[in-house]
Chain A
Amino acid sequence: MEIDMSHVLVSLLSVLGVFLLVFGYRRRLQYRLIQDTPTSKIRSMAMGLVEIYGQVKADKFIKAPFSKTDCVYYKYEIQEYRAKTSGSGSNKSVTYEWMTVGLGNQRIPFLTKDDTGTVLVNPEGAEFDVSQRRIFYQKKGVFSGFKRAKEALKVFTQSETNDFDTSDWQLIEITADSPKVSKTQVGDRKYKEYYIVSDDNLYILGTAANSTDTPNHVLIKQGSNEKVFLISDKSEKGFLKKLKKDMIAALVIGSIFFLGGIALLMHFEGMF
C-alpha cells in the first residue's frame, strides 16, 4: 500500500493540534489555580498548597555554565545556525534558522524570605519560568563538533566543584552595548543562560510540608497529592499574563491545526 506523504503530514498536523489543545487546557488549569490561591505570609502559612512571594536568600550556590554566575537555579539553551534544504531539483530551496541543539538545567535548595519570615524551598520537580539573563555568541569552527560542547556540559553538570573552564570556547557576550556580530554563518552558536540569583524576587506555588531539618520545621516542595510546583521570577500578575498568552496561543493554534487538518483530510478524500 502506497502512503501519501501529504496525508501523513496533515494527520500529524491534526495530532499536533490535539497536543496543543491539551497543553492550552493544562495552562488554563494552572491559570485558574493561581487565581484561586491567595498569597500566604511565610510565618503563618498552613500545610498544603501555598502561594508565596519572596526574595531568594541563598548561602550555597551553583555556577551558571557560561557566565559563571553564582546562582541557585540555571537553565541553558544552545542554538546553532543551520541550513535547511527542502524540495528537489529546480524546486530546491535552502532556509537558514537557529535550531536548539542543547538544553539543560540544574537547581539546589534555597531560602526564600518575605517581610514575616524565611522558608526553605526544595525545587526538585518544580516547573521554572525564568527570564533570559545572558547570551553568548560563538563563531563556527571553535569546536570541531557540537559533541565536545555537549560532553563538557555533561562533565560540568555532574561536577561537585562546578570547576569548569570555558576560556577556550571563545564566547563573546552579547549585550546592548556590545558591537554587532559580523555576518552570521552556518555553524555559529548562541549560548543562552537563564538563572536565579540571591535577592531575586520569586513567585512560588508549591506544597508546604513539615520538615525536621529546617529551623522553622517547614519546607516548600512538590507535594505527593498536589503535584503542581511553579517557580517564576515574575510577579503573580506578570506570571498570569504569560500563562494567559501561552494558553490563548496554544488553544487558537491547536484549534486551527486540528480543524484545518481534519478539513484537509476531508478535501483529500474528495468530500468537498
Chain B
Amino acid sequence: MGPLTVIIVIAVVLLVVVVVGYFISIYNSLIRLKNNIKKAWSNIDVLLKQRHDELTKLLKTVQGYMKHEREVLTSITEARTAFLGAQSVGAKAKADNMMTGALKSLFAVAENYPELKADRSFGQFQNRVSEIENQIADRREFYNDSVNTFNIRIEQIPDVFIARMLGYSQRELFKVAESDRADVDVEF
C-alpha cells in the first residue's frame, strides 16, 4: 500500500468517524430528551403521591371541624379518587387541576372556622400542602419545557430523520386548568 493510499484511507476513515459521530450525537440527544420527559414526569408523580398522603392526614384533621362543609370535602375526595384512577398524563393533569381547585376552596372555607385555623396540626398541613403545590407548579413547568424541547427537536432537520426511525411522536403537555389561566378581576 503506497503512502498516498494510506493518507486517503486515514482521511476517509476520519470523515466517516465525524459523520457517524454526528449522527450518534443526535441519536443520544434524542434519547436523553425522551428520558428527560420520563424523569420530569416521575418527579411530578412523586410530589402528587406526597400530596395525596398529606391530604389523608389533612382530611382527618378538618373533618371534625367542618362537618357541614360536605361539598368541599366531597370535591377533595372526588379529586383523590380521580387521581388514583388516572393513568395518562392528560388524566393526571385533569385530576391535579381538580385537586388544586378543591384545595383552594378548602383553605378558603377554613377561614370561617377560627378553631380550625388555630389548630397547630392544620397549620402545619396547610403549609406542607402549599409547599408541595408550589413544587408541583415548578415541576409542571419543567416537564412542559422538557416536552417542548422534545417536540421541537423531533421536527427539526436532521433530527427528524432519526426521530422517525425511532418512531418518536409529539408528546402531550401538562396543561393547567382554564380557571387558573383566567384573568383575575380586581375591584377597588
Contact = CB atoms under 8 A, between A and B. Distances in A.
Interface in A94-134: 116
Contacts of B43: 46
Given A36-B36, A41-B142, A265-B7, 20 more contacts: A18-B14, A28-B25, A29-B25, A32-B25, A36-B32, A36-B149, A36-B153, A38-B145, A39-B145, A40-B138, A41-B138, A44-B47, A44-B138, A46-B39, A46-B43, A46-B139, A48-B39, A262-B11, A269-B3, A271-B4
A172 interface: no
B134 interface: yes
Given A38-B145, A262-B11, A43 B32 contact: no
A40 B138 CA distance: 8
B29 interface: yes
A235 interface: no
Contact of A262 (B10, B39, B146, B153): B10
B135 interface: yes
Nearest to A42: B138
Nearest to B4: A271
B25 A38 contact: no
A40 B142 contact: yes
B33 interface: yes
A72 to B, nearest CB: 26
B147 to A, nearest CB: 10
Nearest to A263: B7
B36 A37 contact: yes
B21 A35 contact: no
Interface in B3-46: 3-4, 7, 10-11, 14, 18, 21, 25, 29, 32-33, 36, 39-40, 43
**Shortest beta-carbon contacts, A-B, top 9:** A38-B145, A44-B138, A44-B135, A41-B138, A46-B43, A271-B4, A32-B29, A269-B3, A44-B139
Given A32-B25, A266-B4, A269-B4, A259 B11 contact: yes
Contacts of A41: 138, 141-142
A100 B175 CA distance: 54
Interface in A19-49: 21, 25, 28-29, 32-33, 35-41, 43-44, 46, 48
A114 B75 CA distance: 35
B5 to A, nearest CB: 10
A238 to B, nearest CB: 19
Contacts of A39: 142, 145
B4 A38 contact: no
A265 B6 CA distance: 11
9 contacts: A32-B25, A36-B149, A38-B36, A38-B145, A40-B138, A41-B142, A44-B139, A46-B43, A266-B7
Contacts of A271: 3-4
Interface string B135-165: 1001101100110010001000000000000
Interface of A: 18, 21, 25, 28-29, 32-33, 35-41, 43-44, 46, 48, 116, 258-259, 262, 265-266, 269, 271
A32 B145 CA distance: 15
Interface in B96-153: 134-135, 138-139, 141-142, 145-146, 149, 153
A29 B24 CA distance: 11
A82 B78 CA distance: 79
B149 A38 contact: yes
A258 B182 CA distance: 60
Contacts of A32: 25, 29
A122 B17 CA distance: 37
Contacts of A21: 18
Contacts of B142: 38-41, 44
A46 B39 CA distance: 9
B3 to A, nearest CB: 5
A271 B2 CA distance: 10
A190 B11 CA distance: 42
B7 A35 contact: no
A225 to B, nearest CB: 13
